Chains A and B, each alone.
Chain A
């Protein structure tokens, strides 16, 4: 570990002390020697996995995870929560598991990143790093839809970051009278979880069908197609949602929303207006704010990276993983973030040891639930070829599948969730 300077390490230790972690048992031994210092910003699917797998590969590396919240609420499987199929409590994870691996967890908001001086700033102190991992998720473009700003999310939720937003939308749907109308505004590409809005629409339609049969969901979409398109369309047909409980309005039929009025709960498209009882707006997205503070986002709002290592092409020793990265060929999903984290972790360890990065391998599988016991999936295995992330195999579950197949996929969705959450947080 010749590259590491004692100076950067001592500063990191100072940073930890500054935020008052003196009582944290794991902190002192891991930063007491001349060790490489890795800082991970964001303790979600990407960041928590990266922290864990760096420690797993080399316990001698000192890892500090900076995460603003004490608990993490998983977006995956938060859609069933919205319709009472699932408790929000099942979505909640803490950081005790990571601390057991010897990771120092600091609950602070990162307010500045200086990639030249290799320093990260929070309200509590300044941290120096040898390697920095950024996995801050997404942030929202609040200037894209007139009237939809941060204040509006209090009543017109996005529920695209799980937690309090999930609870508000769940309660609104629960309180809605039978015979009510709900509007879901879908986002333009690229966005976190491409099938997510349509899984949400399916489950709301299921809820209306079984609990409030005079109600209807209108999905306004700025696109004409979306992920798992055929499987969703045929599912909506087979499950009896289409037309009756669920109406999807594509861009070509005027689905693009231009303005909202939170005071009257009205949504405006170029030709129409919809007054609704419940409105859910999934806004256009860009990289997490920290990526902009660090200067590693491009003019499209995402972070270009080297596909072999996930190191930023805009700043040395900074690795951007998860939704924020511009990882062409991979979806913005939790599984992809987990997979990217392992690639970055291996590349960071190799680099600290002065070795070339190993060949990356990426896997993504994504399940969507359309009704209880009705799951569909898409899979992807990819690697690096000619400098690009290239698909080796994968694809969708078959259009014509038996009920047993759909049932298995629904239960595999739950299994996936249990496995990946433990892989990330335990």
Chain B
């Protein structure tokens, strides 16, 4: 993802020079502000989008074609969330696009182990179990998850979010959410069919596989 920072700044500059009164939304939608907005995500999603676990997702390098609709779905309430809906409402379409492009421009860096998480932190944190992950790998193939989540879940082709190496507690939460009929999570038809068939145990194993596949 190559952002043309110069030209966007030039446009913003021209708008000021031309005496065009920009409202706050427009002013925050240039590329510099896109990065500034994206930087505020780091409080939960980590510096440059690599979160430190256990339950917050890495967002670095996720494709803009995924991030933009997801942010808009959070904003409208179509996509269930605990907190993202409340946050996404603060951004216009143009701002969502600018900040998503900045996030997409960050690099997924494999995600360092976080030594602090192994200490006593007060919450029960899920740990990857290799045997379960191996079973999950088989299931992910059988259930054709890897047909779209290619490269063992590492693909970020078009609108495909990377799931490999994602934090385990996040994956477990999302699987629960997708399974929960009442939440009506937006998802591709094919995926929904497979999720409907899958048992909670199978989804747990697949989560361990994705999380382990760094």
Contacts and interface: CB of A to CB of B under 8 A. Distances in A.
A419 B44 contact: yes
A347 to B, nearest CB: 10
A379 B87 contact: yes
Q: How big is chain B's contact interface, by range?
A: 35 or more
Given A372-B122, A383-B28, A419 B46 contact: yes
A182 to B, nearest CB: 20
Given A393-B89, A414-B55, A415-B54, A426 B33 contact: no
B44 A342 contact: no
Interface in A373-426: 373, 377, 379, 381-385, 390, 392-395, 397, 404-405, 408-416, 418-423, 426
Contacts, number: 154
A376 to B, nearest CB: 10
Contact of B86 (A393, A410, A416, A420): A393
A334 to B, nearest CB: 8
Contact of A359 (B28, B125, B167, B169): B28
Interface residues of A, number: 56
B28 A361 contact: yes
A377 B123 CA distance: 16
Contact of A418 (B32, B33, B114, B176): B114
A74 B139 CA distance: 42
Contact of A86 (B36, B82, B120, B176): B120
B45 interface: yes
Interface string A249-269: 000000000000000000000
A137 interface: no
Contacts of B116: 90, 418, 421
Nearest to B120: A87
Contacts of B45: 419
B27 A392 contact: no
A361 B86 contact: no
Interface string A228-239: 000000000000
Given A419-B52, A423-B47, A410 B123 contact: yes
B63 interface: no
